[in-house]
Amino acid sequence: MARELWEGNQAIAEAAIRVGLEAYFGYPITPQNEILEWMSKRLPELGRAFVQAEAELGAINMVYGAACTGARVMTSSSSPGISLMMEGLSYIAGTEVPMVLVNVMRGGPGLGNIAPSQADYNQICKGGGHGDYHPIVLAPASIQEAVDLMPVAFDLAEKYLNICCILIDGSIGQMMEPVELPEMRPVVRKDYPWAVNGAKGRPRRILTSIYLDPPEEEKTNLRLLKRWREAQEKEIRYKEYFIEDAEFVVIGFGTAGRVALSAVRAARAQGIKVGLFRPITVAPFPYKRLAELARQASAFLVVEMNAGQMLEDVRLAVNGSIPIEFYGRLGGVVPFPDEILSEIQRVAKAKLRADSDPIADWMKRMEMIAR
Amino acid sequence: MQTELILSGFGGQGIMFAGQVLSYAAMDAGKQVTWIPSYGPEMRGGTANCTVVIADEEIGSPVVKNPDVALVMNLPSLDKYEPLVKPGGMLVINESMVDRGARRDDITVVTVPCSEIAEEIGSIKMANMVAVGALLSGLKELTVADVEAALNAHMPGRHKHLLPKNIEAIHKGYEYARAHTVKAKG
């Protein structure tokens, strides 16, 4: 297929449609309205289901119902809207049915603003709603990567009977890049042994998230855990740049990761042996690979558009073996490459300690920025 | 090779579209490109800008603090972006909407009355295309022919009748800019 210039939100919507999305339910919120808008035009003309629900609660529960029939289904929203969906997401996880969720993150907490942010990492990577479960979370850094991950997201959701979340921020939703979209595939309804799709001529099936008998609920929890452990084993994805001879490694996901790429290139041009590690699956998290890199590098620099949420996972991977520094921008501020470049220069020169407090040190430097 | 551009003006001056036209041309020329708008709660008459990055390899940051090229369509944009252009870079000013010239002499300055030229052609709405033409006079990555071809290929059918005037606007801007460029000193 030829390259076409697409806006992120629209490209994601069209990619989902082309890989067999049967139904979309959603409610408008900036900066992801163009997903809903695109779906509202395209799905009805293809004879598929689109409903603009009365609110996010309605939307996620419509997704729940459609997922129970075995339909390929998704919704999308932005941070405050995702918060509203948490109850439904937990029910979907507890019922073990597949769905895709797109979160185009914005500044928060609360109503916040509509600027790009990565502050919902903990919310979705550490479970989302109540109960013991882990959604699979993919964090693309470009529109092409988001498009390429759409079929992957549906396949993972269906393989692991789980929620698969595409986690991006407003800038990826709003920007335009040349993209190659997948070919249009026919909708194929899989014949799942669990789907409730009419019991005529076969025994009834029941899908539920209620297990009043605690040992039964415990079995369910163990089932979820077993699938999660398998996903941890098999589904890790990441991208590395200039890693081979890197003495320092910058780690960032999504937009923070790609902004860091510019900084890493500039630092390389100055002779600093720095590489970039960009996790694509942020849940499951690439702990093992980072532990390996911690044996090669003398320090890590974690860059995020939040107050150090993924930093906690990196610290878990490294387990105190090398110093980890942190640089974050908050509340919808996107770092410029030169900010990250000066952090790389600092890390390359400074005498760092593995037992230092990266958040405390960064906050001191942030006070300088704020002044 | 990477070139970074910021285009800025009032909402309604066609700044976003101007950036998209350059992006289409860059894509069709086989390059990597990103276009990112300022997408705050803006409205007609407020300020708007977009950043375009054109490169040969995978693009890192789509946001840019110090662009190689700034196109400013009004005074607030001139005030904001003139100090940010990289030394040796280029500043394109829509002379029709500012009451001062450039203050820096370490950048190439192109001053073009985009709105007046557009009105002469037939509509002030084409000031953005005059500005694109002016910008192309100093941009190594893209030619006027690239942009013409991109407009032809990507303008929706219902707008095709506007094409000749838009192309005329690009040529006029290009020619005017060639005669009204002050090169960077040093």
pLDDT at residue number A164: 98
Beta pairing partners, B92? B71, B110
Q: Is the pLDDT of residue B27 over 70?
A: yes
Q: What is the mean pLDDT of residues A92-112?
A: 98
Nearest by Cα to B17 from A210, A176, A295, A352: A176
Q: Which residues fall within 8 angstroms of residue A271, CB to CB, at 6 or more apart? A: none
Tokens standing for residue A332: 């919808």
Q: What is the pLDDT of residue B39?
A: 74
Is B56 in CB contact (< 8 Å) with chain A? no
- Please give the full DSSP string across A113-175, using - where no structure is assigned: -SSB--TTHHHHHTTSSSSS---EEE--SSHHHHHHHHHHHHHHHHHHTSEEEEEEEHHHHH-
Nearest CA in chain A to B21: A5
For B60, which of A177, A265, A338 is closest by C-beta distance?
Answer: A265
Sign of torsion, CA A371 B86 B59 A39? positive
The reply to whether residue B61 touches residue A259, judged by beta carbons under 8 angstroms, is yes
In chain A, whose CA is at the least distance from the CA of B25? Answer: A5
What is residue B46's predicted lDDT score, i.e. its pLDDT? 77
Nearest to A59 by CA among A16, A22, A24, A100: A24
Residue of B nearest to A113 (CA): B40
pLDDT at A124: 97
Q: What is the ipTM of this complex?
A: 0.95
Peptide bond between residue A109 and the one before it cis (omega within 30 degrees of 0): yes
Please give the share of chain A, as a percent, with pLDDT higher than 90: 97
Query: Of A92-106, A246-260, B9-23, B37-51, where does mean pLDDT reach its minimum?
Result: B37-51
Domain locations in chain B as residue ranges: 2-182
Q: Are A89 and A67 in contact (CB under 8 A)?
A: no
Q: What average pLDDT score do residues A278-299 get? A: 98
The pLDDT score that the predictor gives to residue B41 is 66
Q: What is the pLDDT of residue B11?
A: 87
Q: What pLDDT sits at residue B47? A: 83
The residue among B39, B51, B64, B65 with the most chain A CBs within 10 A of its CB, best to mutate, is B39
Q: What is the pLDDT of residues A314-328, one digit of tens each?
A: 999 999 999 999 999
State pLDDT tens for residues A174-196. Answer: 999 999 999 999 999 999 999 99
pLDDT at residue A371 above 60?
Answer: no
Query: Chain B residues with CB inside 8 Å of A176's CB?
Result: 20, 23, 34-36
Q: Thinking of the domain A239-370, which architecture would CATH place it in?
A: 3-Layer(aba) Sandwich (3.40)
- The mean per-residue pLDDT over the stretch A205-215 comes to 97
- Domain boundaries, given as residue ranges, for chain A: 4-234, 239-370
* pLDDT for B45 beyond 80: no
Return the CATH architecture of domain B2-182.
3-Layer(aba) Sandwich (3.40)
Q: Whole-number mean pLDDT of chain A?
A: 97
Q: Return the pLDDT at B42.
A: 61
- What is residue A1's predicted lDDT score, i.e. its pLDDT? 61
CB A171 to CB B62 under 8 A?
yes
> Do B23 and A176 lie within an 8 Å CB cutoff?
yes
CB of B49 within 8 Å of any CB in chain A?
Answer: no
Q: For residue A227, give the nearest of A66, A365, A97, A371 by alpha carbon.
A: A97
Q: Does B5 touch chain A (CB under 8 A)?
A: no
Question: Is the Cβ pair A260, B60 closer than 8 Å?
Answer: yes
The per-residue pLDDT for range B119-144, each reduced to its tens digit, is: 999 999 999 999 999 999 999 999 99
Q: What does the pLDDT look like over A327-338, one tens digit per residue?
A: 999 999 999 999
pLDDT of residue B40 exceeding 90, the answer is no
Is the domain covering A4-234 a CATH 3.30.460.10 domain?
no
**Residues in Cβ contact with A182 at an 8 Å cutoff, skipping those fewer than 6 apart:** A1, A15, A18, A19, A147, A150, A151
Task: Indicate left, alpha or beta for A89 from its phi (over 0: left) and psi (-120 to 50: alpha).
Answer: alpha
Band of pLDDT at residue A368, cut at 50, 70 and 90: low
Contacting A residues, span 194-253, partner chain B, CB-CB under 8 Å: none
Yes or no, beta carbons of B61 and A261 under 8 Å apart: yes
Mean pLDDT along residues A290-300: 98
A177, A261, A338 ranked by CB distance to B33: nearest? A177
HSE (side-chain half, CA atoms, 13 Å) at A124: 34
Q: Do B65 and A31 touch (CB under 8 A)?
A: no
Among A8-12, A21-25, A182-186, B156-160, name the one with the lowest average pLDDT.
B156-160
Q: What is the largest CA-CA distance in chain B?
A: 48
